[in-house]
């Protein structure tokens, strides 16, 4: 479990904006006091909030010209809750695509009763938000989970993951699941058993004692559909499965770095919200209410 | 489990962070470093895996779903003989829109519709249905003569040859004795129905029945009576006011385009109003939910009509030109005031007035109704009162209204039975369908089973073949097991050992829709026909259902009037075809070549998405168009060709002539397919008829209270509904769908629960005059205080390991009864009391 140390990509690719410069200095100072001190400091809360406020200015212009990094793509979703009918087709499509076991669901449709006399519900689906500042990444003791440099997708390296589940507790959105090794009857025996999961283009066969059983699992924006350049292609079906099947056409997926992209346009023209904005996680999944 | 902002605020987050960070510190020695910096490293990919199993591996085969009757288009990824994934088919309008302009907008042959089709959860979960380990794999024969529910059938596995031979022998005994009509044949209504109908015709039984009478024949009767077509479709996308009575289209999806066209209709400015005793998931998308007592929808509609007539808000031009019986209707609704309706429905009179005005003054508007009001004894008349609102506001067959679809598709040619079969086939139907003045060809299941159980009906049937139906759970009441026990032989063809299969003498393993053919005309407003085809071979080497039918037909040597062995000779090629599948391919090809597509099965397979789509598209206001001159050559007029209202037919009426149109203003217009050629608010043709109870039928869309009303002993209404997670009683063994919804709760209003001393998650007894069922409650204000209800389909005692023992089957609290006009099973008319356990 050796890890090749890499330079902080966010540092090297950071633009010259004032806010970022401040952050660079901030990080440098923290390095001086040591990483352990850093996390302790964040845990204490005080520094965390100043850290958040510093980055707020940067990411508050999503899809605009002032992107956080020089990342090639910034993939994300805009989910229109007015279009979501709560059917849960996304959940099943995801399960069948990624061949996830019982209890592991990369997106969850929730129904929240509004505070009104008839308890009318609001539906929404909630995949991993692939946050700009993913708390799950920071707590991983073995660097198994990380935010990809080129497109911001937060991934899990099953070969490194030791199943400690810190990331599950760290994620404020409940987007991570532990694979306890349970199976549906159809994956236990019969023809379907031999179908591997396309996740990360690894096509692992589900076998007792081997990954991803015993690992933490999460939404990957179906990154196995990307081509060599990291692009998705809706027309050939190389598109996140949840968005592809959505009965209300409520899930928009795309690249926020491209101002012409539908998702960038939607957050520019509409008034989307993000969940728990106050935590400063900067989710890349927006909701239209 | 995820919780929204409320419960897990920032404070909690920090706390959680602290906890996990402590762990991180402890393990930092292991990794040497924990930092906020990038942890990026490359994750190896499996190139061989991509090649063998990736998206480009294997085949993508276009087909149609059958997880419910919606028949959405699907694309199946088949790798190494295994179905790995099912995705929506973008070329199939059913997955996108029911209006052609919307479907063709941006359509390309390469990709299909612009934004791509959709597929509901059930469609996505089809793989789990296919690979369900509880599927029946081999023919089974009962060895225990005791056929009472719960008795172990003591199944004996037998070979296909033995099974088909023994079943054919039983059939032959009936046939030879001139008792072919004593065979009851019951099937699902969207799959291989034509060949089953042909079999019954050639065998000589009039008793072919289908699922529809459990579902929506009341709606069919209501629409048919008022505007001459039994299945108009809502143009929600172009509507500005969508008023739905007792329908849950965005959840009980049925056609997967519904969530899209309804939410986008709202996005384009429509107001959605849902009338339902339960705030369904569709009502959750509505701007307004109108809660009312079950079965009182007709009263609400009449009061709305009262307001619209009184305030002269109706579409005068449409009413004057195209509506018949407006005077009679106006007189009838004169005293059906909002105050009158408030007493019946509990909907405030002021709300009724407001909704009526909104409906009549917002254009275009539409009013649709499905099984909520329909599955009541007063469902047909209530439905007529609701449909009548469409006539008043004049949006029938207009953009944004209720569109009459052109359902041209494959053509099922009539088969002529030989002399003997024709003779037995002339016996009356055992379900006495003729007694139902607005009955549907699907028959009357409740009558079939109650007649059987009571020894009533015109004769005593001896044998039943039940294909992919589970009447033991789906027919209201609890007498199906007793009824089936009266038969000498019961054959069930199904993929699962359903409650009904457990009562059978023979069970044949059926196929799922992924293993067989079908032609699907679609639930859109213009002609579309899509292919269902086997994407893999039947898993257990079993013949498909149509092959079983043909194999039995061959064993019985069934012939047509001309002495042709029907199940050998390819109807298109005219040649004898030994191979059963090839014979059926020829059968389907024949229906295509002689139908609207005019192409062969082989050609259909090569079309994008295996869908034939008529490019002419949706036509509106067809009723006002002239019938083309060539069609009128040799036409038959039932009066003067210059007299307004004269009906025009292709053949004389007594020779089953099809109505072409009606004379108006000296021209033959397509008009409405009613006796007057107009939309009928008053139907004189009904005045001459009696219903199945012998009562005269009222030609007006009258409100009469449903038969079963709450009383002191059983004070609550019990209703049921469908949701996106399951189909009827057949999907509850599917583990992917059980993860969405694992049981059904009895939904009860908090005030009602409190008055009964019932708390959250409590177990209760739900009791009616017919029996009692245990259930767990869910307390919510989403339901009318006088009503309790639940999702239908749970409470299995069979079907499979996953399904057994989940939730409650409330159907047994009902009577085995249909509405006396259409033969619709009245699932929603039950009165109960709820008692804490």
Q: Name the minimum distance, in Å, from the CA of A63 to any CA of chain B.
A: 22
Closest by Cβ to A87, choosing from B40, B251, B283: B251
Q: Do A92 and B54 touch (CB under 8 A)?
A: no
Chain B residues whose CB is inside 8 A of the A238 CB are 55
Instruction: Quickly list DSSP for B652-700.
Output: -GGGTPPEEEEEETTEEE---SSTTSSEESS-HHHHT-B-TTSPBPPSS
My answer on whether B263 and B376 are in the same domain is yes
**Tally of domains within chain B:** 3
Task: Classify residue B737: in a domain, yes or no.
Answer: yes
Q: Which of B351, B374, B403 is the last residue of a domain?
A: B403
| Interface test with chain B among A247, A253, A277, by most B beta carbons within 10 Å | A247
Q: Is the pLDDT of residue B11 over 90?
A: no
Residues 6+ apart with CB under 8 A from B762: B776, B777, B836, B837
Q: Do B38 and A10 touch (CB under 8 A)?
A: yes
CATH of the domain at B775: 2.40.40.20
Closest by Cβ to A185, choosing from B86, B133, B737: B133
Scanning every residue of chain A, which has its alpha carbon at the shortest distance from the alpha carbon of B38? Answer: A8
Task: Classify residue B142: in a domain, yes or no.
Answer: no
Query: Is the alpha carbon torsion for B743, B749, B750, B754 positive or negative?
Result: negative
Q: Is the pLDDT of residue B674 over 50?
A: yes
Residues 6+ apart with CB under 8 A from B24: A39, A138, A139, A140, A141, A166, B34
User: Would you call A216 helix, strand, or coil by DSSP?
Assistant: strand
In angstroms, the CA B83 to CA B513 distance is: 12
Q: Do B25 and A36 touch (CB under 8 A)?
A: yes
Instruction: Give the global pTM.
Output: 0.90
Q: What average pLDDT is seen over chain A?
A: 81
Q: Which residue has the higher pLDDT, A6 or A198?
A: A198
The whole-number pLDDT of residue A1 equals 35
CATH of the domain at B262: 3.40.228.10
Q: Residue B783 — very low, low, confident or very high, per pLDDT cuts 50/70/90?
A: very high
Residue B184 buriedness (CB in 10 A; 0-12 / 13-18 / 19+): buried
| Interface test with chain A among B133, B276, B284, B760, by most A beta carbons within 10 Å | B284
Q: Which residue has the higher pLDDT, A37 or B748?
A: B748
Scanning every residue of chain A, which has its alpha carbon at the shortest distance from the alpha carbon of B74? Answer: A245
User: Would you call B77 helix, strand, or coil by DSSP?
Assistant: strand
Tokens representing B292 are: 């009312």
Nearest-CA neighbor of B708 among B413, B396, B294, B367?
B294
Q: Return the HEC string of B262-317.
A: HHHHHHCCCEEEEECCECCCCHHHCCEEECCCCCCHHHHHHHHHHHHHHCCCCCHH
Nearest-CA neighbor of B525 among B228, B727, B213, B255?
B255
pLDDT tens digits, residue range A176-204? 999 999 999 888 889 999 999 999 999 99
Query: Picking from A62-66, B578-582, B678-682, which range would have the lowest pLDDT averaged per residue?
Result: A62-66
pLDDT tens digits, residue range B482-501? 999 999 999 999 999 999 99
Phi, psi dihedral angles at A278 (to 5 degrees): -65, -15
The whole-number pLDDT of residue B347 equals 98
User: Would you call B818 helix, strand, or coil by DSSP?
Assistant: strand
| Interface test with chain B among A6, A96, A192, by most B beta carbons within 10 Å | A96
Strands B528-532 and B611-613, sheet pairing: antiparallel
Phi, psi dihedral angles at B108 (to 5 degrees): -130, 155
Q: Is the pLDDT of residue A25 over 50?
A: no
Task: Classify residue B331: in a domain, yes or no.
Answer: yes
Chain B residues whose CB is inside 8 A of the A30 CB are 36
My answer on whether B256 and B371 are in the same domain is yes
Q: Do B40 and A147 touch (CB under 8 A)?
A: yes
Nearest-CA neighbor of A170 among A141, A199, A206, A205?
A141
Tokens representing A277 are: 């904005």
Nearest-CA neighbor of B237 among B390, B99, B93?
B99
The whole-number pLDDT of residue B565 equals 96
Q: Are B95 and B88 in contact (CB under 8 A)?
A: yes
Q: Do A35 and B33 touch (CB under 8 A)?
A: yes
Q: Do B124 and A123 touch (CB under 8 A)?
A: no
**Can you tell me which residue has the tokens 């539906």?**
A123
User: Per-residue pLDDT averaged across B147-174, rounded?
Assistant: 96
Phi, psi dihedral angles at B31 (to 5 degrees): -95, -15
User: Per-residue pLDDT averaged across B453-461, rounded?
Assistant: 97
In angstroms, the CA B761 to CA B354 distance is: 38
My answer on whether B728 and B668 are in the same domain is no
Q: Are B666 and B645 in contact (CB under 8 A)?
A: no
Which ipTM value was assigned to this complex? Answer: 0.93
User: Per-residue pLDDT averaged across A22-42, rounded?
Assistant: 32
Q: Do B27 and A142 touch (CB under 8 A)?
A: yes
My answer on whether B332 and B374 are in the same domain is yes
| Interface test with chain B among A1, A11, A85, by most B beta carbons within 10 Å | A85
My answer on whether B658 and B730 are in the same domain is no
In angstroms, the CA B837 to CA B835 distance is: 6
Three-point CA angle A135, A140, A141, nearest 5°: 145
Residues listed for chain A: 289
Tokens representing B86 are: 């099912």
Tokens representing B249 are: 């289209």
Q: Do B43 and A157 touch (CB under 8 A)?
A: yes
Q: Which CATH class is domain A70-288?
A: alpha beta
Q: Name the minimum distance, in Å, from the CA of A157 to any CA of chain B.
A: 6
Q: Name the minimum distance, in Å, from the CA of B11 to any CA of chain A.
A: 9
pLDDT tens digits, residue range A89-106? 999 999 999 999 999 999
My answer on whether B231 and B378 are in the same domain is yes
State which residues form the domain around B738.
Answer: 716-836
Q: Which CA distances in Å does B651 have to A73, B598, B633, B661, B667?
A: 68, 24, 11, 12, 19
Q: Which of B346, B380, B403 is the last residue of a domain?
A: B403
Nearest-CA neighbor of B63 among B515, B553, B439?
B515
pLDDT tens digits, residue range B792-816? 999 999 999 999 999 999 999 999 9
pLDDT tens digits, residue range B383-415? 999 999 999 999 999 999 999 999 999 999 889
Describe the crossing of helices A46-59 and A18-33 by its angle, rounded to 10 degrees.
Answer: 150
Phi, psi dihedral angles at A208 (to 5 degrees): -55, 135
Chain A residues whose CB is inside 8 A of the B52 CB are 203
The whole-number pLDDT of residue A243 equals 98
Chain A residues whose CB is inside 8 A of the B121 CB are 87-89, 91-92
Q: Residue B28 — very low, low, confident or very high, per pLDDT cuts 50/70/90?
A: very low
Phi, psi dihedral angles at B716 (to 5 degrees): -110, 145
Closest by Cβ to B121, choosing from A38, A87, A126: A87
Residues 6+ apart with CB under 8 A from B13: A135, A172, A276, A279
Q: What percent of chain B has pLDDT over 90?
A: 92
Q: Do B259 and A247 touch (CB under 8 A)?
A: yes
The helix (run of H) or strand (run of E) holding residue B550 is helix B545-555
My answer on whether B732 and B630 are in the same domain is no
Q: Name the minimum distance, in Å, from the CA of B26 to any CA of chain A.
A: 9
Residue A177: how many other CB atoms lie within 10 Å: 20
Nearest-CA neighbor of A185 among B738, B513, B729, B806?
B738
Q: What average pLDDT is seen over chain B?
A: 94
Q: Residue B39 — very low, low, confident or very high, per pLDDT cuts 50/70/90?
A: confident
Edge-to-edge strand list for the sheet holding B659-664: B636-637, B647-649, B659-664, B667-669
Chain B residues whose CB is inside 8 A of the A245 CB are 87-88, 118-119, 123-124
Q: Do B735 and A93 touch (CB under 8 A)?
A: no
Closest by Cβ to A192, choosing from B18, B23, B131: B131
Nearest-CA neighbor of B185 among B199, B167, B174, B173?
B199
Closest by Cβ to A166, choosing from B23, B259, B801: B23
The whole-number pLDDT of residue B37 equals 54
Closest by Cβ to A247, choosing from B8, B260, B737: B260
My answer on whether B651 and B789 are in the same domain is no
**Can you tell me which residue has the tokens 């904005």?**
A277
Closest by Cβ to A146, choosing from B38, B128, B263: B38
Q: Is the pLDDT of residue A254 over 60?
A: yes
The whole-number pLDDT of residue B254 equals 84
| Contact pairs from chain A to chain B, CB under 8 Å | 319
Task: Classify residue B372: in a domain, yes or no.
Answer: yes
Tokens representing B198 are: 């042909």
Q: Do B87 and A83 touch (CB under 8 A)?
A: no
Q: Is the pLDDT of residue B785 over 50?
A: yes
- State the maximum Cα–Cα separation within chain B, in Å, rounded to a whole number: 101
Closest by Cβ to A169, choosing from B20, B54, B256: B20
Chain A residues whose CB is inside 8 A of the B260 CB are 247-249
> Within 13 A of B287's CA, how many CA atoms are on the CB side?
15
Q: Are B458 and B207 in contact (CB under 8 A)?
A: no
Query: Picking from B40-44, B136-140, B705-709, B735-739, which range would have the lowest pLDDT averaged per residue?
Result: B40-44
In angstroms, the CA B519 to CA B512 distance is: 15
| Interface test with chain A among B25, B110, B121, by most A beta carbons within 10 Å | B121
Residues of chain A with CATH 3.30.70.20: 70-288
Task: Classify residue B193: in a domain, yes or no.
Answer: no
pLDDT tens digits, residue range B816-833? 999 999 999 999 999 999
| Interface test with chain A among B6, B34, B80, by most A beta carbons within 10 Å | B34
In angstroms, the CA B811 to CA B770 distance is: 10
Tokens representing A235 are: 């027309």
Q: Which of B380, B403, B426 is the last residue of a domain?
A: B403
In angstroms, the CA A127 to CA A106 distance is: 6
Strands B140-142 and B365-369, sheet pairing: unpaired
Tokens representing B437 are: 């003045």
Q: Do A108 and B259 touch (CB under 8 A)?
A: no
Asked if the bond preceding B225 is cis, omega within 30° of 0, the reply is no
């Amino acid at each position: 479990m050796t890890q090749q140390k890499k330079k902080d990509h966010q540092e090297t690719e950071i633009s010259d904006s004032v806010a970022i410069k401040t952050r660079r200095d901030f990080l440098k100072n923290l390095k001086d006091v040591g990483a352990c001190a850093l996390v302790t400091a964040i845990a204490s809360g005080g520094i965390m909030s100043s850290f958040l406020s510093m980055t707020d200015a940067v990411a508050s212009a999503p899809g605009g010209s002032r992107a956080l990094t020089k990342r090639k793509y910034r993939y994300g979703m805009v989910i229109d809750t007015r279009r979501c009918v709560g059917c849960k087709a996304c959940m099943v499509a995801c399960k069948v695509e990624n061949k996830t076991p019982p209890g592991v669901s990369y997106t969850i449709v929730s129904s929240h009763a509004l505070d009104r006399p008839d308890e009318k519900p609001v539906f929404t689906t909630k995949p991993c938000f692939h946050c700009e500042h993913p708390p799950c990444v920071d707590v991983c003791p073995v660097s198994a989970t990380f935010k990809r440099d080129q497109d911001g997708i937060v991934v899990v390296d099953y070969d490194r993951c030791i199943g400690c589940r810190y990331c599950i507790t760290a994620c404020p959105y409940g987007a991570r699941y532990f694979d306890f090794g349970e199976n549906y009857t159809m994956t236990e025996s019969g023809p379907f058993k031999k179908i591997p999961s396309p996740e990360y283009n690894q096509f692992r066969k589900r076998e007792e004692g081997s990954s991803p059983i015993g690992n933490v699992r999460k939404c990957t924006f179906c990154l196995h559909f990307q081509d060599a350049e990291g692009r998705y292609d809706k027309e050939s079906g190389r598109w996140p499965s949840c968005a592809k099947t959505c009965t209300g056409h409520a899930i928009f997926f795309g690249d926020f770095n491209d101002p012409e992209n539908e998702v960038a346009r939607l957050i520019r023209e509409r008034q989307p919200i993000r969940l728990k904005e106050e935590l400063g996680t900067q989710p890349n999944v927006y909701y239209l209410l | 489990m995820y919780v929204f902002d409320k419960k897990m605020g920032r404070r909690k987050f920090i706390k959680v962070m602290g906890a996990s960070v402590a762990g991180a510190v402890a393990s930092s020695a292991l990794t040497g470093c924990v930092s906020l910096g990038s942890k990026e490293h490359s994750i190896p990919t499996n190139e061989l895996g991509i090649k063998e199993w990736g998206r480009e591996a294997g085949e993508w085969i276009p087909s149609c779903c059958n997880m419910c009757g919606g028949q959405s288009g699907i694309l199946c990824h088949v790798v190494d003989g295994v179905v790995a994934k099912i995705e929506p088919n973008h070329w199939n309008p059913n997955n996108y829109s029911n209006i052609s302009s919307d479907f063709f907008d941006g359509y390309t042959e390469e990709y299909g519709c612009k934004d791509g089709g959709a597929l509901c959860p059930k469609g996505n979960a089809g793989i789990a249905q296919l690979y369900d380990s509880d599927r029946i794999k081999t023919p089974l024969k009962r060895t225990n003569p005791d056929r009472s529910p719960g008795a172990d059938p003591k199944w004996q596995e037998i070979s296909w040859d033995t099974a088909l031979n023994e079943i054919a022998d039983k059939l032959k005994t009936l046939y030879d004795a001139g008792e072919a009509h004593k065979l009851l044949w019951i099937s699902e209504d969207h799959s291989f129905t034509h060949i089953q109908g042909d079999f019954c015709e050639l065998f000589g039984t009039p008793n072919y029945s289908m699922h529809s009478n459990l579902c929506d024949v009341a709606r069919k009767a209501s629409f048919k009576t008022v505007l001459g077509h039994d299945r108009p479709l809502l143009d929600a996308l172009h509507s500005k006011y969508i008023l739905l009575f007792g329908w849950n289209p965005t959840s009980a999806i049925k056609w997967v385009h519904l969530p899209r066209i309804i939410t986008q209709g709202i996005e384009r400015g429509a107001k959605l109003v849902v009338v339902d005793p339960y705030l369904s998931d569709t009502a959750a998308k509505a701007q307004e939910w109108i809660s009312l007592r079950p079965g009182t929808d007709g009263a609400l509609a009449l009061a709305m009509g009262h307001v619209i007539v009184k305030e002269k808000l109706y579409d005068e031009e449409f009413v004057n030109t195209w509506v018949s019986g407006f005077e009679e209707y106006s007189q009838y609704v004169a005293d059906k005031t909002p105050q009158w309706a408030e007493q019946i429905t509990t909907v405030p009179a002021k709300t009724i007035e407001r909704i009526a005005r909104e409906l009549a003054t917002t254009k275009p508007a539409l009013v649709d109704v499905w099984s909520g009001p329909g599955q009541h004894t007063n469902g047909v008349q209530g439905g007529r009162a609701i449909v009548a609102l469409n006539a008043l506001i004049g949006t029938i067959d207009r953009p944004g209204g209720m569109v009459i679809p052109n359902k041209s598709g494959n053509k099922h040619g009539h088969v002529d039975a030989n002399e003997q079969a024709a003779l037995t086939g002339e016996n009356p139907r055992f379900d006495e369908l003729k007694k139902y003045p607005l009955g549907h060809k699907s028959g009357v299941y409740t009558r079939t089973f109650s007649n059987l159980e009571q020894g009533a009906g015109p004769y005593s049937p001896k044998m039943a073949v039940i294909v992919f139906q589970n009447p033991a759970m789906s027919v209201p009441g609890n007498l199906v097991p007793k009824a089936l026990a009266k038969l000498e032989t019961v054959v069930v063809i199904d993929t699962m050992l359903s409650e009904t299969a457990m009562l059978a003498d023979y069970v044949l393993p059926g196929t799922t829709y992924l293993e067989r053919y079908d032609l699907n005309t679609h639930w859109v407003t213009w002609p579309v026909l899509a292919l269902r085809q086997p994407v893999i071979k039947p898993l257990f080497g079993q013949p498909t259902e149509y092959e079983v039918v043909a194999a039995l037909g061959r064993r019985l040597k069934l012939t047509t009037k001309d002495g042709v062995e029907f199940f050998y000779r390819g109807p298109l090629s005219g040649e004898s075809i030994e191979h059963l599948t090839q014979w059926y391919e020829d059968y389907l090809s024949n229906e295509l070549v002689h139908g609207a597509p005019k192409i062969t099965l082989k050609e259909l397979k090569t079309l994008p998405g295996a869908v034939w789509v008529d490019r002419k598209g949706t036509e509106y206001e067809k009723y006002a168009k002239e019938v083309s001159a060539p069609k009128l050559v040799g036409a038959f007029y039932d009066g003067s060709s210059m007299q307004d209202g004269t009906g025009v037919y292709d053949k004389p009426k007594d020779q089953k002539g099809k109505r072409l149109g009606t004379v108006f203003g000296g021209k033959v217009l397509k008009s409405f397919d009613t006796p007057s050629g107009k939309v009928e608010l008053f139907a004189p043709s009904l005045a001459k008829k009696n219903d199945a109870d012998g009562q005269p039928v009222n030609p007006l869309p009258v409100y009469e209270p449903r038969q079963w009303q709450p009383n002191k002993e059983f004070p609550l209404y019990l209703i049921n509904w469908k949701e996106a997670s399951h189909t009827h009683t057949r999907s509850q063994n599917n583990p992917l769908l059980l993860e969405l919804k694992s049981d059904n709760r009895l939904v009860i209003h908090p005030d009602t629960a409190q008055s009964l001393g019932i708390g959250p998650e409590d177990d209760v007894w739900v009791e009616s005059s017919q029996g009692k069922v245990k259930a767990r409650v869910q307390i919510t204000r989403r339901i009318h205080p006088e009503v309790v209800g639940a999702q239908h389909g749970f409470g299995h005692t069979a079907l499979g390991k996953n399904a057994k023992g989940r939730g409650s089957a409330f159907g047994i609290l009902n009577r085995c009864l249909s509405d006396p006009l259409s033969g619709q099973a009245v699932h929603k008319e039950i009165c109960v009391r709820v008692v804490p356990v």
